Structure 1
Amino acid sequence: MNIFKRIAGHIYFFCALVIFMLTMLVVIIPASIALLFDEPRRAKIIHPTYRIWMSVFLPLVGCPVVRKGKKHFKKGENYVVVVNHNSLVDIPVSTPWIPGPNKTLAKIEMAKTPVFGVIYTAGSILVDRESESSRKESFTKMQQTLKQGLHLCLYPEGTRNKTSEPLQPFFDGAFITAIRAQKAIIPAVIFGTKDILPNKPKLWARPKVIRYHFLEPVPTKGLSMSDRNELKDKVHDLMKQYIIQNA
């Protein structure tokens, strides 16, 4: 990377960060109000709020979101949406742009961040990965979320993909959750976020269009826990092949 591109990327990163923080100060108000309500009312307040926020912020910094496959979300149905995870940019894209109120599973550490922690908490099921009781409780809360008619947004890779592979191996959690609730899985693929905010160099970014594609639902009706690995492998293969063919 030449020196001019590197400097431009650092300048862009800090400008985008300032815009994010300024717009966040507006969103903190409805997020705080939403926390006064129980689910699913909270999600129904917070989802359109975050959607409006990202509809302003992302185009403002040159990263508009183009969606494909919204038709796979049928009226009156809710789903477990599993999304690939390449960058921190995935977080403000994945949940707001799912068609309908939803919750995501998130690390409890981020909830301790001043101001942003309120926004983070309002839209998430928090889990302490170091606590077995917290992990068990998160499974219960995910089932409750689906029973309440909300979508569930999960990253089955567990962490950002810093490898050269299209996808990392998947963990079982999303598939156990979907089978228990007998809810269909919608695989979703986000393109472009790794280019916007790569792992290296640090504090460097660039603008780019983000593509968010929803694939056909994978049913779980009639499946049992013994089918979870086959289901996991099927969804992984669908997403991997789609990434390879459309990157």
Structure 2
Amino acid sequence: MIKVFQAIYSVYALLLFVGLMLLFGLFIIIPLLISPNGDKISFVFFRAWAGVWSFLCGIRYEIEGQEFIAKDKSYIFIFNHRSFLDAPIIPLTVPKEVRAIGKKELSKIPVFGLIVSRVAIWVDRSNAESRQKGLEAVAKLIGKGKSIMIAPEGTRNDTQETLLPFKKGAFRLSAETQIPILPMAIIGADQILPKGSKLLRPGKVKVVFSEALTPPNSTAESEIDRFVEKGRNRLEAMIITHS
């Protein structure tokens, strides 16, 4: 019986997700078509979509550490990726306009893919050339003062491990551009929508931000490796401490 109610709730949440995306979609897309700086207006509606959907679905958020995010600075945000729910979590909890690297498969989701394409860089993670082009596109955005959101694990984590091994791209980019890394721990999203499941449930997601990590002045491989380890240790400690 519980599964039946959960299935009904999941269908309701999905229809609401699409309906609200259609409602807010034009207001998200049009400012970005008019001007590259239209993202300030777009993200108002992006957050409205995520906030209304979360409220009507009974999904609550507890946020800590936003004081570490300076409004006048750019960051490379890194986060632990355990659920598709990260899509509404990020615009709702990050108090900045951000661009994200996402896997190409998400671009094929009707409505969602079309709208989010305006603020995402799609990458085929199985293709080294695609990953490199994605990082080059990100570097250009950083050069324009934009902040970036990257999941350094490279894919959703459905293991019992706190984090998967990190890819180096975000950290190398940080060292090359001297834009700091800012860790963001997302806790509880996988309880609401686990990987591999189509059934949602109401609940609470905790989002914790850490003080930014200053990149090394060198792009030597040994320095990048230490920076990756530092970032992974910080994010892992945040998840364990706040879980």
Task: Name the TM tier (shorter chain).
Answer: over 0.9
Structure 1: which 5+ residue stretches go unaligned? none
How far residue 245 of structure 1 moved from its aligned partner, in angstroms, is 1.8
TM (norm. structure 1) is 0.91
Q: Take 1:75 and 1:110, find their aligned partners in 2: how far apart are those partners?
A: 29
Amino acid at match of 1:63: I
Matched, 1:19 2:28: no
Matches within 5 A, 1:110-129: 110-129=106-125
Picking from 132, 138, 143, the partner of 1:136 is: 132
How far residue 109 of structure 1 moved from its aligned partner, in angstroms, is 2.9
Q: Take 2:98 and 2:183, find their aligned partners in 1: how far apart are those partners?
A: 15
Counting matched residue pairs gives: 242
Match of 1:29 in 2: 26
Structure 2: which 5+ residue stretches go unaligned? none
Query: Are 2:181 and 2:212, in contact at CA under 8 Å, matched by a contact in 1?
Result: yes
Match of 2:210 in 1: 215
Which segment drifts farther, 119-128 or 152-161?
119-128
Match of 1:155 in 2: 151
Q: Percent identical across equivalent pairs?
A: 29
Query: Are 1:47 and 1:96, in contact at CA under 8 Å, matched by a contact in 2?
Result: no
Query: Are 2:193 and 2:199, in contact at CA under 8 Å, matched by a contact in 1?
Result: yes
Matches within 5 A, 1:92-107: 92-107=88-103
Matched, 1:70 2:66: yes
Picking from 189, 192, 206, the partner of 1:193 is: 189
Amino acid at match of 2:108: K
Q: Take 2:195 and 2:22, find their aligned partners in 1: how far apart are those partners?
A: 27
TM (norm. structure 2) is 0.92
Match of 1:228 in 2: 224
1:36 aligned counterpart, secondary structure: helix
1:209 aligned counterpart, secondary structure: strand
Which segment drifts farther, 219-228 or 189-198?
219-228
Match of 1:174 in 2: 170
Amino acid at match of 1:141: A
Q: Take 2:34 and 2:131, find their aligned partners in 1: how far apart are those partners?
A: 24
Q: Take 1:198 and 1:113, find their aligned partners in 2: how far apart are those partners?
A: 18
1:71 aligned counterpart, secondary structure: helix
Matched, 1:203 2:184: no
